Amino acid sequence: MTDDTEVKRKRRLSKKERKALKKQRTNNNNAQKVSITATKPEADEEAAIDYLKNYEAIEVPTKVSSEINNKKGGNNTANEDLEGGSTGKTLGKWFPNALLVKSSISFTNTGQLLVNGKVDGIDESKTKNPRASLVLFYQYTEKTKKWNPERVKILMSYLSIIAKKRNLGGRIRVAQEGVNATLSAVDMPTKDGASAAETLRYVAQDLKNFDPVFEETDFKFIDDLSPDRHFKELRVIPVEELVFYGIREEDAACQEGGVHLKAKEYHEMLKEENAVVIDVRNHYEAVIGRFDGQEKVDDPKKKLEHKGAEYIDPKMRKSTDFTQWLSKDETKEKLKDKKVLMFCTGGIRCERASAFLKKEMGDEVDGVYQLQGGIERYLKAFPDGGFWRGKNFVFDKREAVSAEDKDGDGGVVKKKKGKKDNKKDDDLPAKCCVCEKKWDRYVGKKKCFTCGVPVLMCSICMSKKPDKTKGMEIKVRCPLCIEENITVPCSEVEFTDNGVKNKKNQDEQDASAGKAAQSVLKWGGGHAKKKKLQRKAQRRICQFGTECVRKDCMFYHPERQGEKSTSS
């Protein structure tokens, strides 16, 4: 070829140049997208800032010190990112108005410091034995003084400002009826940085300054945790109901629930014979820990006989199953004329459930009571575990907590040094879903093949990946699906919103095709996978064009657009 006709080849970019180009494209794309915080009216944020100005806020540094920044070559990007806080990322179509605030400081489970998501070579003296803290709380407003939508927006903005200021992580659900939250903080590695414990106490005061209703809140602080227990981001999620039961408020107002008992009062009532104790949590939580120690006799010479309140597991996949369980005749017969004790992880699920039970059976039972502060408060009051057996499944990075281990199981699978197996928990129904050996760790995010709830799978079986192996998926089922002989994958069944109920009645289902679960632990139900494939196919033009004879073809047919509009 001559020089005139020769095509110039493009120079291959170096790895560093490719990364820079990718970052530039990402930034451009994010700039074009509508930011979730930008959609909020400016007035909301201004109103939220006004609350912060009304009192003398204790200053808690939220950005990395200049000393750390200088170690990174004087690049100011990290500090500028901290000022912004929001990632511009949405939480899907179910939560389009949620706020997401990145935490600037976090730690890996090996103790490495992450500054804006990157490992930083900070001096060891500044990260010597850093600790994290958690605070769990919920608060309902008064029945006649619900927050209006504008107030909810202001509260969300207020919380996002606090998150940036205090360097928080976790999840907050906000509704007109109140707040449900799990928040985390970690010791700041700067010279004048606040400790994690101090930071969360400041947050409690921030909320009390926003609304006096938080003066009544039971803030459950858990301090001196491993630094990797801190969340890397905070999600502020607006919802219609803090815990979704599918119950109208006029049928069960949270303010009309059972009598709240402190841990020691609850413990004493568990000893009573004419009582039942209802586990308001999901079955996958109950299999690794429960209140049934009061039914056991400690003396090995005696036979095991019923002592104290009878433990009842409603065997629910999700909260919406509670009403269906309570409507059964056998349930009502078991509760009749008994003192009904209820408990859950932190107390919030008992609020609506106890109110509904009182409305349905108030005259038929000898009182309805609930554990104030949930299992978290009970284990603090009884360091030896009391009548609790096993582990308390939690919705934070601790994973599951026992009386003797507040740091929890979270992280990699490894046996903790000096930890002895608790023999009194040997008969708990916690076992691997594949090999059926004793196992009580929810790791690897393994889900039931037929209903989507978390399943227990041991490390040996996990390495074989049965959920990815054709023909082996049916082994990966929860105890409820095995007990009910559920065999149809949840991905093949359509459910109502929030996976509450199977749209196809069980009587109408083809018996030869197997039995499907009545509810699934999944937003929108199991048919989401099919809809995703349809949306993907509709973006591609059908290769057969006008010759395609399938009327239900999922691929795009430009010539059929007119037919759809006229038929509709």
DSSP string, 255-297: GG-PEEE-HHHHHHHTT-SSEEEEE-S-HHHHTTEEE-GGGS-
Angle of CA points 241, 244, 247, to nearest 5°: 90
Could you give the angle at the alpha carbon of 322 between the alpha carbons of 316 and 328, nearest 5°? 100
Task: Provide the pLDDT for residue 296.
Answer: 77
Query: 432 catalytic, yes or no?
Result: no
Cβ atoms of residues 289 and 391 within 8 Å: yes
Question: Structure tokens of 302?
Answer: 């005696």
**Which residues make beta-bridge pairs with 107?**
113
User: Tens digits of per-residue pLDDT, 435-465?
Assistant: 999 999 998 889 999 999 999 999 999 999 9
- Tell me if 183 sits within 8 A of 134, measured CB to CB: yes
**Neighbouring residues of 100: CB distance < 8 A, sequence distance ≥ 6:** 36, 86, 87, 89, 90, 91, 233, 234, 235, 236
Question: For residues 363 and 367, what is the distance between their CA atoms, to the nearest angstrom?
Answer: 9
Give the pLDDT mean for 547-556: 82
Q: Which residues contact 453 (CB under 8 A, 6 or more apart)?
A: 282, 283, 284, 317, 447, 478, 480, 520, 521
Which stretch, 190-204, 388-402, 413-427, 513-527, has highest mean pLDDT?
Answer: 388-402
CATH classification code of 249-409: 3.40.250.10
Which residue, 141, 107, 139, is CA-closest to 126?
107
Give yes or no for a contact between 157 and 45, defined as CB atoms under 8 angstroms apart: yes
Q: Which strand (E) or helix (H) includes residue 480?
A: helix 479-483
**Stretch among 207-216, 299-308, 396-405, 457-466 having the lowest mean pLDDT:** 299-308
pLDDT of residue 279 exceeding 70? yes
Tell me which residue of 196, 201, 243, 195 sits closest to 220, measured CA to CA.
201
- Tens digits of residue pLDDT in 212-239: 999 999 999 999 999 999 999 999 999 9
What pLDDT was estimated at residue 78? 28
- What does the pLDDT read at residue 456? 96
Q: What residue segments make up the domains of the chain, in order of their start?
A: 29-238, 249-409, 459-513, 536-567
pLDDT at 84 over 60: no
Q: What is the pLDDT of residue 5?
A: 44
Give the mean pLDDT of the chain: 79
Show contacts of 323-327: CB within 8 Å, 24+ apart: 323/245, 323/246, 323/247, 323/356, 324/518, 326/356, 326/357, 326/360, 326/361, 327/360
- Contact (CB, 8 A) for 229 and 221: no
Q: What is the pLDDT of residues 313-372, one digit of tens each?
A: 999 999 999 999 999 999 999 999 999 999 999 999 999 999 999 999 999 999 999 999
Neighbour-count burial for 101-135, b at 16+ CB within 10 Å, e otherwise: bbbbbbbeeeeebbbbeeebebeeebbeebbbbbb
Choosing from 344, 350, 432, 451, which is the catalytic residue?
Answer: 344
Amino acid present at 441: R
For residues 429 and 315, give the distance between their C-alpha atoms in angstroms, rounded to a whole number: 13
Lowest-confidence pick of 134-148, 242-256, 359-373: 242-256
In whole angstroms, what is the distance from residue 316 CA to residue 480 CA? 9
Residue 318 pLDDT:
92
CA gap 513, 282 in Å, rounded: 27
Contact 297/304 with Cβ under 8 angstroms? Answer: yes
Task: Give the global pTM.
Answer: 0.77
| Max CA distance (Å), the chain | 101
For 31, the 3-state DSSP assignment is helix
CATH architecture of 29-238: 2-Layer Sandwich (3.30)
